[in-house]
Amino acid sequence: MLTRDVLRQPKLQFVPHFGYVSLFPFIMKLIPSDSPILRKQLELIHNEDLLWSDHGLRSLATTSSFYMKHNTEHDPPYWRGSVWINLNYLILSALHHYSQDEGPYSSTANLIYTELRENLIRNIVKRFYESGYLWEQYDNMANGKGKGAHPFTGWTSLVLLIMGENYV
């Protein structure tokens, strides 16, 4: 059996490319409800300089050197800043879980959950009424405009589960 020897305690630190991928322990609800790591995750999620926008959570933090940079010369910044409803749904599911679970951060999780849910619903409905379409992704900047493929009733149709607060 392999074991890992740790010579010093791990130090929590900021990784320069913070984004959806950084939230997977949170998304999978692996963080104990009373852990200070949960408090830190909630702070990072609700930070406007990182992922938070009025239209949902960005896929990559504005502080990343890759934020809104093209993947290649001819390939736009696909997962580098836009709001994706599938990951926002998973994050809402985790926020809902932590808001219901007894712990010192349940009220904070509930406040963030409520605000994020409202931001997503408001933006998706507004963009639908403007264009008549559900979009693959949404701009994280001031306008929240639908981007990518349309009509795209795949991931964005999750808005119905978000509206019904159905997190399976």
- For residue 4, tell me if it sits in a domain: no
Quick: pLDDT tens for 31-40.
Answer: 999 999 999 9
Quick: pLDDT tens for 78-88.
Answer: 788 899 999 99
Selected residue with higher pLDDT from 130 and 79: 130
Range of the domain at 152: 32-163
- For residue 47, tell me if it sits in a domain: yes
- For residue 24, tell me if it sits in a domain: no
Position 7 scores a pLDDT of 87
Count: domains in the chain: 1
- For residue 90, tell me if it sits in a domain: yes
- For residue 72, tell me if it sits in a domain: yes
Longest dimension (CA), the chain: 59
- For residue 1, tell me if it sits in a domain: no
- For residue 74, tell me if it sits in a domain: yes
CB-CB neighbours of 27 under 10 Å: 21
Percent of all residues in the chain with a pLDDT value above 70, rounded to a whole number: 98
- For residue 16, tell me if it sits in a domain: no
